Chain A
Amino acid sequence: MSDSARFSLDRRNFLIASASAALAATALPGCAASVNDSSSGGAKGGGTISVMTTEDPKTFQADAQKALGMTIRVMKYDPSKLNAMLASKNPPDVVRGIGALETPYFAKRGLMTDLDPYFAKSSALRTTDLDPVNDLWRFDGQKQGAGPRYGMAKDYSQDSMFWYRTDLFHEAGIDLPSDTEPLSCDEWLDLGKRLTKRRLGKVKVYGLSAGGMGTFAQLTSLTASAGGSVFAEDLASVDFSAPEARKALQWILDYTRADIGPNVANPNPDGWDWPTYQANRMAMATDGYWFGGSFLDDPKIGELSRFAPAPQLGSNRVSPCFGATGFWIPRESKNKDAAWKFFEWYFGGKPAQDRATGGWGIPSLKSLQAKMPQEKPFQKQAYKVQENEMKYFSTLSFTPYAEVTALEAVLNKVLPGAVKSNTPTGKIADELNQRMNEQLARGKELAG
């Protein structure tokens, strides 16, 4: 055999070799994961877990590594990246999530780890100590609030309550809202209009930011307050034509047209209310108790701020929680035991104590709720208002057939144009129904 034949390296052979190498390369992550699985050491110390969160790693990474004796790899929370990682079955070990809105969707698709066996064995996190808000992380295959626990809230708030700036109220000569009696939504909108300051087409001070947790959540809360529900009983369709939902939609349209705060047609470039509120440019911010934690960075704003009950659209007084933000462990996590150790430390250890005293939400463990801050006047007032509001605490079931971003997407697509063109509310409701129900039907077909 000649040399050239023995070392044949023609194009065909080379491409075959390259393709094989490429295929091997695509398989590598799987192999790497397997290797990681067997060598992680699990909960016995050592090993590595990855945590996807919005939190600054500086606030917990070093402490967690020291306390748990493992390496914590932190990645910035990014829903697109998370979906891609879940789709490729290579998710982080611990993921930040909004229990109220995400649990049904992910649990229905079998993407979350059932944490009941872990809770049963844990001495740091006892189910008897869990605040009922943690039930938003439960899903029985059909509805939220029952069945296995898939995650846990770090803290929570009743998200339709609002904070307001007393100085801006005094400047406008308006009486402060009651600490116990809720405003009606019409009164609230009127207050927002009176508190808004404009100059040459620009808003100098926003009177009211009404949708801290997004327009869809706001719509479901308003509809509940009017005595109805956006979703049908089986959570597989929406109906904005029903009187209560239509009333809620009308209020959102009125608020958007009034242009008195960030809205679906003119979103907040900062993504949340604090920068505008802190800059003396927002009189009322619809954010729950957690927002008070921001005042620790700027005590002067805290002195000027007070907390108020959730305004009501109808006679059915409700004050829901749309968040219950916390963590969950994906089913494909390779280090579940180690991830649970992180859970115990984060939800039951020092970080939980620090969060409770910091005012960044109501602690999700009943045993920590006595530690909520009450030193400063605004903290005392907020605590009292919150204590009274707890009587009206409610949760709203979310559909397992679509992610909230998909439904929010429909609102983003339909509402700005409709507001601009003064489309009748009935027609808008029909379009929302058609688009959202298509999305939900597709989800139901896939999820079963």
Chain B
Amino acid sequence: MSTEQLSRSVRGARASVEARRPAGRPGRRRASLRTRRAWAFYLFSGPWILGFLTLTVFPLGYALWLSFTNSDGLSPRTEFVGLANYREVFSDPDTMTSLARTGVFTAVTVPLSLVAGLLLAVLVNQPIRARGLFRTLLYLPAVVPPVGAALTFKMIFDRDSGSANGVLDLLGVDGVSWLVDPYAHWVLIMLTLWAVGNVMIISLAGLQDIPREVLDAARMDGANAWQTFTRITVPLLSPVLFFQVITGVIAALQSFAPLLISLNSTPAGVTAVPQDNYLYMIHVFAQTFANGRYGYASALLWVLFAIIIVITLLIFRLSKGAVFYSFEPEKAKKTPRTIGSAR
């Protein structure tokens, strides 16, 4: 079809639409309604989109550009170095060690906090006396800002004046240097688990969403408590658990908590983090601000970004069949329920 033929047929189609449209206001009203809806949509989503572009897309792009330079942020002689920073990421033993350590940290803390949070949720979901009080107490540590929690941990685990060694002292046992290698890693894991109330509260919401009649039916069919939990509760809770695995893994890979319990509070403190707690993000921070390697640190961040995407996709793929949805997400998308439509 030639361009002329195409424009003729478009004009024809427009004319036919105009001819079929009732004269006067209804057409304008429809258009005006559509425009108003569009304005309303963009008015509400606009601030977020603006923030996203300014605070996420622009910095990401800037960091991507930096990652191809040898910039230290301050020197005037910044040069384009191509992929050199990315090559160094994979040949730098400090980077590889910190990445491996971060992997171990993630593999330990995510399942631990998931299991602990779920168990606590099951406990506070029981019809026991003062249930509300227990829920509040168990959730309270998650409300404490991480800096406050870390300071408390530093005080508890101080070698010479901390209460942890005070208890050991009473038992006649030698004190332990908790905040340096090799114990600092365990303190870090404890600090991470301290905020397990977050997992508990989300799991509790999931537990309360499980229909009572399903559990009753299982019991009537002869299932004991363990069978009900493993075959009914956990599968129905699996979307909630899956969500927590994804967010937990991302948070653990980006963990910056080691700095909070570092003993050295001087500007070089980030590099004085015990080696067992020298996680990937600590390495990034040290490269940026202690060593002034903005270009290399940007490459490190982009590599982490890629790793997070790959791991997330991998978890999605591995979870197929393990996560039970009570409805088909795809079908739901195709036939959205709207107010007033029949169920």
Least Cβ–Cβ distance between A222 and chain B, in angstroms: 19
Contacts of B13 in A (CB 8 A): none
How big is chain B's contact interface, by range? 35 or more
Q: Which residues of B contact A14 (CB under 8 A)?
A: 42, 46, 49
**Stretch with Cβ within 8 A of A (4 or more), from B113-121, B229-237, B261-269, B309-317:** B261-269
Q: Are A413 and B271 in contact (CB under 8 A)?
A: yes
The reply to whether B35 and A4 contact each other, CB–CB distance below 8 Å, is yes
**A19-B53 Cα distance, complex, nearest whole Å:** 6
- How far apart are the CA atoms of A293 and B18 in the complex, in Å? 88
Are A266 and B180 closer than 8 Å at their CB atoms?
yes
Given contacts A202-B175, A269-B158, contact A83 B289 (CB under 8 A): yes
For chain B, residues 48 to 64, give those with C-beta under 8 angstroms from any C-beta of chain A.
49-50, 53-54, 57-58
**CB of A204, distance to nearest CB on chain B (Å):** 7
Indicate whether A120 reaches chain B with its CB closer than 8 angstroms: no
Asked if A12 is at the interface (CB within 8 A of a chain B CB), the reply is: no
B303 at the binding interface (Cβ < 8 Å): no
Q: For the side of the interface on A, what is the size category?
A: 35 or more
> What per-residue 1/0 map shows which CB atoms of B138-180 lie under 8 Å from chain A?
0000000000000000100011100001001100111111011
Assess whether A201 is in contact with B175, with CB atoms less than 8 Å apart: yes
Contacts of B172 in A (CB 8 A): 200
Given contacts A109-B76, A443-B72, contact A22 B53 (CB under 8 A): yes
Is the Cβ of A417 less than 8 Å from the Cβ of B267?
no
The answer for the CA separation of A110 and B77 in the assembled complex, in Å, is 11
Q: How many A-B residue pairs have CB under 8 A?
A: 153
How long is the Cα–Cα vector from A23 to B54 in the complex, in angstroms? Answer: 7
Q: Are A406 and B35 in contact (CB under 8 A)?
A: no
Q: Which residues of B contact A4 (CB under 8 A)?
A: 31, 34-35
B290 interfacial by beta-carbon distance below 8 Å: yes
Given known contacts A87-B73, A266-B180, is B268 in contact with A446 (CB within 8 Å)? no
B67 within 8 A of A: no
- Using a CB–CB cutoff of 8 Å, the interface residues on chain A facing chain B are 2-4, 7, 9-10, 14-15, 18-19, 21-23, 25-26, 79-80, 83-84, 86-87, 106, 109-111, 199-204, 214, 264-271, 281, 402-406, 408-409, 412-413, 416-417, 420, 439, 442-443, 445-448
Closest 3 CB pairs of A and B: A409-B271, A201-B174, A87-B73
List 19 additional A-B contacts (Cβ < 8 Å) besides A80-B285, A416-B274: A4-B35, A18-B49, A21-B50, A79-B289, A80-B289, A86-B74, A109-B74, A199-B169, A202-B169, A202-B174, A268-B264, A269-B154, A403-B290, A406-B290, A412-B264, A412-B271, A420-B181, A442-B293, A447-B77
